[in-house]
Amino acid sequence: MYRRDGGVCLIEITLRELKQLFNTLDPAPFHEKDLDPAAEEYIVSAVREIGAAPTRLVLQLPSGTTDDEACGAVVAIRNYFAGRSRHARGQLRLLLVRGSISLLIGLTFLAVCLSVRQLLLANVEPGDAILSEGLLILGWVAMWKPVEIFLYDWWPDLDRRRLFERIAHIQIETLHA
């Protein structure tokens, strides 16, 4: 359960050191640093759990943190999640392209299977009925992946992109100890 301030849910993070927030293995400049995986997971899980309610991220910074460092942390968080949102958008685009290519291949294969099936049915011989039914099934099985992509697979990527976009624009408050 998250503390509320008025109608706003607060996601509170208390830091002993500002660098706890960031991935120590990332050599990027401060404003472009990756978040620590545990910090990212906590923020993402909290925002997902809270849902659509108004939310604010509250960073309790250690004493001695300058206003510039606090401002930099806010910018870094926004940049990080904006980047994650762009990445998720790219992943969604790639999935839909792969789905389109799979659909084209699947429809072509289905058309070939149905054409061969029609030829077999025109010259029905005892063993051809089984083969023609097999071609029908095989053609529709080839459509499985494109149908799966367009019916089910793209939703999680879209949700992830929206979540990261929401976090990138979340209200962030910094408090000094």
What are the pLDDT digits (tens) for 76-107?
A: 999 999 999 999 999 999 999 999 999 999 99
- Average pLDDT for the chain: 91
Residue 151 belongs to a domain = yes
Instruction: Copy the structure tokens of residue 142.
Output: 């080839």
Dist CA 54 CA 164 (whole Å): 15
Same domain assignment for residues 71 and 39: yes
pTM: 0.82
- Which residue, 135, 144, 146, 136, is CA-closest to 104? 146
Same domain assignment for residues 165 and 79: yes
- CA distance readout (Å), 63 to 18, 66, 71, 160, 177: 10, 9, 15, 35, 5
Helices (H), the chain: 37-50, 67-122, 128-141, 144-148, 154-168
Same domain assignment for residues 150 and 166: no
Q: Domain limits at 82?
A: 4-88+160-176
